Chains A and B, each alone.
Chain A
Amino acid sequence: MTSLVLADHDNASLKASTLSAVTAAQQMGGDIHILVAGQGCGAVAQAAAKIPGVAKVLVADAAQYANALAEPLAALIVSLAGPYSHLVAPASSVGKNVMPRVAALLDVAQISDISAVVSADTFVRPIYAGNALATVQSKDAKKVVTVRGSTFDKAKTDGGSAAVENVNPAADPGLSTFVSQALSKSERPELTSARIVVSGGRGMGSGENFKIIEALADKLGAGVGASRAAVDAGFVPNDYQVGQTGKIVAPDLYIAVGISGAIQHLAGMKDSKVIVAINKDPEAPIFQVADYGLVGDLFQIVPELTKSL
């Protein structure tokens, strides 16, 4: 039994979500290999080789993998799938895009966004925006799984010394081309791995007003998130969204500012260790999940909080 874990990376560094996927794969049992597919991704392969418990790193370095397009990447994974019992990826935008394609090409089910491993063939996954947890068993010969990063510890990043092996690219289906990307630039910690997250909602009123959220986040060394309402209103970019269909976070401290607490938002943050809610409406549902609630005007409270830290 061996698992192949798809590394999530930007050709320069390994993303933390990969480390959670490795931990999940360890719980499934057997050996672990990591696939690094990209272009000029040698540093990523070296980083992957240092993860303790990883036996081998496969590197597919070719132009068609530079931007993780689903069609060539799925073809590559399928070409390598033969000896593996488990194909595992983080439930990141890359994993969610490519793994169902891999599963269908192999004619097996895919198990999305698992939050726990029960055994090699049985997994727990949240359904209905995390309002229920389903335990599912796969009867397929290969398990194709994506892993919710927030519920698995991150594997260590040093101490390992896996062999690094180049693999041949698979034939490129040539169905898609990469055009451009517009990535948010930020010096702040990444939302899904930040120890503290400060999020703003509709109550912020404008994108300009997010400055007070950012000031608080910078004081705390926190990542900045948002509710769907704030993203839909155009206050902040889509990659800030925390929730059922956005990012799932579970930091030590989550501060929800001007967020009412719709089910869809709670789905993305209710596993946080400590939740603080700041809202002018004492009846807002967010207070039902918050450890500490503060009712009042966020435009006074947030700057005051920033100043007092």
Chain B
Amino acid sequence: MKILVAIKRVVDFNVKVRVKADKTGIELANVKMSMNPFDEIAVEEAVRLKDAGKATEIVIVSIGPQAAQETIRTALAMGGDRGILVQTDAEVQPLAVAKALKAVVDKESPNLVVLGKQAIDDDSNQVGQMLAALLGWPQGTFASKVALEGDGIAVTREVDGGLETINLKLPAVVTTDLRLNEPRYASLPNIMKAKKKTIDTLAPDALGIDVAPRLTTLKVEEPAKRQGGVKVADVAALVDKLKNEAKVIG
């Protein structure tokens, strides 16, 4: 069984982002970039399925600038077998990403696509669902546990009220939530080995897809800053503030 894992290069989760002065977007110059944390979980899950003898090949796919090769290389060091970069410097919105991934799936014919439930930059939480729709496949989103069973996959999902388990027919799309696993750090030998693995580069045009944005970003602004308040001395002072100043308790 072949697994395709889609990953995104994003601003590292530890970076405190700043809005550009001209309000056109986020300051990205000289900012540390990393693999989207949810996608690391997706790579890890695929590697575990391969380690367990349930998968034979893991193909890592990313859509983005040439620098996304580094991110693919990281995934290869974690245990991916080969990579594909759909290279573009243009803004690629979720629907376009899903179309690019569909084109890659059509070429590669995986049985399972695993990807993060959302990228921590635009927080859209759309691509997995859209890809499943375009392929006519079932989707198991926000997964905290997956189990391959015969020609299907059982996915335990994190939902508003708790957990839900569903069965999907394969092929299927699974998007990962935080509790699915804890991703490994690539070992030095594996990082060296990853340098020899193949990364193919494709142009969106070659895939025959239209990646033109559907949404226009009119402006990006900083939210109103919250002012830090005061430190109170003890519980009695806190209760007094809540009752008489903030008036949020009776």
Binding site for B on A (CB under 8 A): 10, 67, 69-71, 74, 92-94, 96-105, 107-113, 122, 125-140, 173, 175-184, 192, 196, 220, 228, 231-232, 237-239, 244-245, 247, 252-253, 263-264, 270, 273-276, 282, 287-295, 301, 304-305, 308-309
CB-CB < 8 A to B107: which residues of A? Answer: none
B129 close to chain A: CB less than 8 A: yes
Cβ contact within 8 Å between A129 and B120: yes
Across the two chains, which residue of chain B brings its CB closest to A253? B248
Bound-state Cα–Cα, A181 to B158, Å: 10
CB distance from B118 to the nearest CB of A (A): 7
CB distance from A68 to the nearest CB of B (A): 9
Cβ contact within 8 Å between A92 and B248: no
One of B38, B134, B228, B239 near A104 (C-beta < 8 A): B134
B188 close to chain A: CB less than 8 A: no
Bound-state Cα–Cα, A112 to B121, Å: 13
Assuming A122-B218, A126-B223, is B137 touching A175 (CB within 8 A)? yes
Within 8 A of A (CB), among B125-151: 125-134, 136-142, 144
Cβ contact within 8 Å between A70 and B139: yes
Interface-side segment among B78-86, B165-173, B195-203: B165-173
Task: Tally A-B pairs: CB < 8 A.
Answer: 258
Cβ contact within 8 Å between B223 and A132: yes
Cβ contact within 8 Å between B215 and A137: yes
B206 close to chain A: CB less than 8 A: no
B117 close to chain A: CB less than 8 A: yes
B179 close to chain A: CB less than 8 A: yes
One of A99, A136, A196 near B218 (C-beta < 8 A): A136
One of B133, B160, B218 near A100 (C-beta < 8 A): B133
Cβ contact within 8 Å between A182 and B163: yes
Binding site for A on B (CB under 8 A): 11, 13, 16-17, 19, 26, 38, 93-95, 98, 117-118, 120-134, 136-142, 144, 154, 157-169, 172, 177-179, 214-223, 226, 228-232, 234-236, 238-239, 241-242, 246, 248-249
Bound-state Cα–Cα, A184 to B137, Å: 30
Bound-state Cα–Cα, A112 to B139, Å: 18
Cβ contact within 8 Å between B123 and A127: yes
Bound-state Cα–Cα, A238 to B179, Å: 8
Cβ contact within 8 Å between B95 and A109: yes
Cβ contact within 8 Å between B248 and A134: no
Bound-state Cα–Cα, A309 to B214, Å: 53
Cβ contact within 8 Å between B231 and A293: yes
CB distance from A252 to the nearest CB of B (A): 5
One of B128, B140, B162, B234 near A239 (C-beta < 8 A): B162
Cβ contact within 8 Å between B167 and A245: no
CB distance from A269 to the nearest CB of B (A): 10
CB-CB < 8 A to A98: which residues of B? Answer: 129
Bound-state Cα–Cα, A54 to B228, Å: 41
Cβ contact within 8 Å between B133 and A232: no
Bound-state Cα–Cα, A67 to B223, Å: 37
Beyond A109-B94, A270-B226, 7 additional pairs, beta carbon < 8 A: A104-B134, A133-B220, A139-B214, A176-B166, A183-B163, A228-B178, A292-B231
CB-CB < 8 A to A126: which residues of B? Answer: 123, 223
One of B93, B98, B168, B229 near A291 (C-beta < 8 A): B229
CB-CB < 8 A to B122: which residues of A? Answer: 127-128, 134
CB distance from A247 to the nearest CB of B (A): 8
CB-CB < 8 A to B141: which residues of A? Answer: 70, 96-97
CB-CB < 8 A to B164: which residues of A? Answer: 67, 178, 180-182
One of A94, A100, A130, A276 near B223 (C-beta < 8 A): A130
19 contacts between A and B (CB under 8 A): A67-B164, A69-B166, A70-B141, A98-B129, A100-B94, A103-B126, A135-B220, A176-B167, A178-B166, A181-B164, A184-B161, A239-B161, A274-B248, A287-B231, A289-B226, A290-B228, A292-B229, A292-B238, A293-B231
Cβ contact within 8 Å between B178 and A100: no
Bound-state Cα–Cα, A275 to B229, Å: 9
Cβ contact within 8 Å between A239 and B231: no
Cβ contact within 8 Å between B162 and A182: yes
Bound-state Cα–Cα, A181 to B163, Å: 6
Cβ contact within 8 Å between A103 and B95: yes
CB distance from B136 to the nearest CB of A (A): 7
Assuming A177-B166, A181-B165, A244-B123, is B236 touching A308 (CB within 8 A)? yes
Bound-state Cα–Cα, A239 to B120, Å: 20
Cβ contact within 8 Å between A291 and B178: no
CB distance from B122 to the nearest CB of A (A): 5
Cβ contact within 8 Å between A132 and B248: no
Across the two chains, which residue of chain B brings its CB closest to A240? B162
Bound-state Cα–Cα, A100 to B168, Å: 18
Across the two chains, which residue of chain A brings its CB closest to B218? A135
